[in-house]
Amino acid sequence: MSGPAGKVRVAVVGAAGAFGMKHLDGLANIEDAEVTVVSGTKPEATQAVAEQYGVPHAVVGLDAVLERDDVDAVILATPTGLHASQTQAVLAAGKHVQVEIPLADSLVDAEATLAVAEASDRVAMVGHTRRFNPSHQYVHNRVLAGEFAVQQMDVQTYFFRRSNTNAKGEARSWTDHLLWHHAAHTVDLFAYQTGRIVQANAIQGPIHPELGIAMDMSIQLKAETGAICTLSLSFNNEGPFGTFFRYIGDTATYIARYDDLYTGADEQIDVSRVAVSMNGIELQDREFVSAIREGREPNSSLRQVIDCYRVLGALEEQLA
């Protein structure tokens, strides 16, 4: 299955959302990919996105995508609660899938989805973007070269979300979660940079009376190498927003802010040559497309990231 000139024909589901559009921006720069259809829940908004990005077809819902014969691969940028079931549905339809982080919002669903992926011959990948940000790739390359070993990671994930809004400031139809979404980024990255996590602890603050979630959380992790991680998360913070990583190592200190990297003295490091792009989402999508074309397991496959969800499941039990 492939389009003209061997291109991978991609459908983006949830295309009108904040991350659906980030994927469309990234895919526009990938020569081996062709977006053939976008899907959403609101016809007018989805059609507008199709026109904006020059995509020939706009449909409503996932089923309308899976029945098409001009789709080889699906990117799911949909609400968290749908990720597991939709990933399984895409694989059952015989198509490759990349699902946005998190894979699921429960360990049971994550394990069930992994089982479906393992029984399939399709590429199945989760959008653990931190593995692909040039800033974190730079650190990872130094780790692999034996030039740097993480002793401690200090991470802050801060947003202001006292109402149910998305990254574009628009009302959400679902509720975001500090543990199953935002902590997943750091739990996976810490293991990716240091080794398997062998100890994990968590505490959380008050539950929001309307959203029904904890608005503040603190997580401690320890890897098999002895490295430790302290992660602070909040939906109560009024700025600056985002996630900030401090790597304290045996030979250097690094501070990562999205795709940018700084020394401990706050001097910027040039990471423009680490990869072909400075956009982590684009690099993530490039890995997805390349893995499909080359018939190989991608970085951040379901198999590679499942331990992250096992840690999250254990933390959820602690918090309960």
How far is it, in rounded angstroms, from Cα 138 to Cα 128?
16
Q: Tens digit of pLDDT for each residue in 267-298?
A: 999 999 999 999 999 999 999 999 999 999 99
> 75-112 as b/e, with b when 16 or more CB fall inside 10 Å?
bbbbbbbbbbebbbbbbebebbbbbbbbbbbbbebbbb
pLDDT of 177 higher than 70: yes
pLDDT of 221 higher than 60: yes
Domain that holds residue 181: 133-274
> pTM here?
0.93
Q: Tens digit of pLDDT for each residue in 9-36?
A: 999 999 999 899 999 999 999 999 999 9
Same domain, 85 and 173: no
Residue 310 maps to a domain: no
Q: Tens digit of pLDDT for each residue in 64-100?
A: 999 999 999 999 999 999 999 999 999 999 999 999 9
- CATH number, domain with residue 95: 3.40.50.720
Average pLDDT over residues 148-164: 87
Same domain, 88 and 160: no
Same domain, 156 and 209: yes
Average pLDDT over residues 213-236: 96
Contact 255, 261 (CB under 8 A): yes
Tokens of 37: 């259809």
Domain count, the chain: 2
Q: How confident is residue 6, by pLDDT bands cut at 50, 70 and 90?
A: confident
Same domain, 118 and 204: no
Tokens of 120: 């399939």
Residue 211: strand, helix, or coil:
coil
Q: How confident is residue 213, by pLDDT bands cut at 50, 70 and 90?
A: confident
Residue 317 maps to a domain: no
pLDDT for res 210: 83
Same domain, 268 and 140: yes
Q: Tens digit of pLDDT for each residue in 38-65?
A: 999 999 999 999 999 999 999 999 999 9
